[in-house]
Amino acid sequence: MLDYRILKAFHLGLVQDDQARGMPDFIEPEPIVPPALAGMPALMPRLADLAALDARQTVAVLASLNQQVQAGEVPWLAALLRSDRPERVARHLRSRLVIDMAGTGPCFFRFFDPRVLVQLPWMLAPAQLAWLFGPVQAFHVCLHQAWHTIERPAVEAAPHLALTPEQSFALVHVQPMNEVLAGLEGLDIDGRIRLGRAVMGHFRTARDLGLRTLPDRKAFARHALAVHADFYRHDQVQACLRAMDDQDDHPYVAATQALDDEDWSRIHTDMSRTGEQHGR
């Protein structure tokens, strides 16, 4: 539950886009639209000045957010922001919405999505995270009906983001990672972070095995979570990997369609036996 004290400790609020349901009429957030993304304003975040709300309005905001969270809905406010320089926040965040990915080029960075924000502390170095936060001292976000604070690291910010190829790979795969996590029940925030790291590791393994498409990598990660982390070492799966046909749109998905529930159960049993990585 979000309480009055916590809400008043944060000066600003981020609305993810213009589809926010349940936002009180008196909230008039400022769109944050960088020039490079001027053609897609509906997808841009909006910044609300929470410090300007009177006591009645603050209570109404609190009630609307708690009602949505209790109902299992996504709250209309994506994040609360704490800053001692609130006048600089909008300009700063606007400058962070487009970043250069190694090997890809400029990309829209949805860092303001709570599903992304909670994963960034392990994807970025502290100085890079400080570069992203800038004048924002903390983000307070809601996931899985619980609120979670991400603090700005107490280090000097990097002058530039300067992503490594592996960091770029991770950020490009954040959306596919969240699609894999969306199918899992009973997650809390810590569980989401832990499994997010695991899924990213499975994406890297899939890449190293030659799986090029996102549907293939997502299918691979789902198998790793459901069957066994090293399931791909099993003889039956190795045979599928060798049988992949580049003429298929998604070779891994096509090659593993021959495996039924009984096969996957056997693979799980075999791989769970100590020292029997190849199902023998």
What digits encode the pLDDT tens for the residues 119-139?
Answer: 999 999 999 999 999 999 999
Query: What's the pLDDT at 280?
Result: 45
Residue that finishes a domain, picked among 106, 135, 159: 159
Residue 167 located in a structural domain: no
Q: Is residue 278 part of a domain?
A: no
Same domain? 68 vs 95: yes
Q: Are 203 and 221 in contact (CB under 8 A)?
A: yes
pLDDT value of residue 103: 78
Calpha distance 155→230 (Å, rounded): 38
Q: Are residues 42 and 136 in the same domain?
A: yes
In the DSSP assignment, the letter for residue 87 is G
Instruction: Report pLDDT digits (tens) over 230-266.
Output: 999 999 999 999 999 999 999 999 999 999 999 999 9
CB neighbour list of residue 280: distance below 8 Å, 6 or more residues apart:
235, 270
> Do 112 and 219 sit in the same domain of this protein?
no
The position carrying tokens 């529930």 is 261
What is the 3 state secondary structure string of 180-207?
HHCCCCCCCHHHHHHHHHHHHHHHHHHH
155 and 114 co-located in one domain: yes
The mean pLDDT of 271-280, rounded to a whole number, is: 63
Gap between the Cα atoms of 96 and 204, Å rounded: 26
Residues 212 and 135 in one domain: no
Containing domain of residue 143, as a range?
4-159
Q: Clarify whether residues 126 and 29 are in a common domain.
A: yes
Q: Where are the alpha helices (DSSP H) in 118-259?
A: 120-123, 126-133, 165-172, 174-181, 189-208, 214-226, 235-242, 251-256
Residue 209 lies inside a defined structural domain of this protein: yes
Are 55 and 123 in the same domain? yes
Q: What is the DSSP letter of 134?
A: T
CB-based contact 64:33 (threshold 8 Å): no
Which pTM does this prediction carry? 0.91
Q: Say how many domains are in the chain.
A: 2
Do residues 62 and 97 both lie within one domain?
Answer: yes
Shared-domain flag, residues 50 and 135: yes
Q: Are residues 15 and 136 in the same domain?
A: yes
Last residue in a domain, options 159, 190, 210 = 159
Is 277 inside any structural domain?
A: no
Give the total residue count for the chain: 280
206 in the same domain as 147: no
- For residue 248, being part of any structural domain is answered with yes
Residues 12 and 118 in one domain: yes
- Phi and psi for 222 in degrees, rounded to 5? -65, -40
The whole-angstrom separation of Cα 236 and Cα 181 is 26
Average pLDDT over residues 209-218: 97
- Exposure string of 51-63, with b = 16+ CB inside 10 Å and e = fewer, is eebeeeeeebbbe
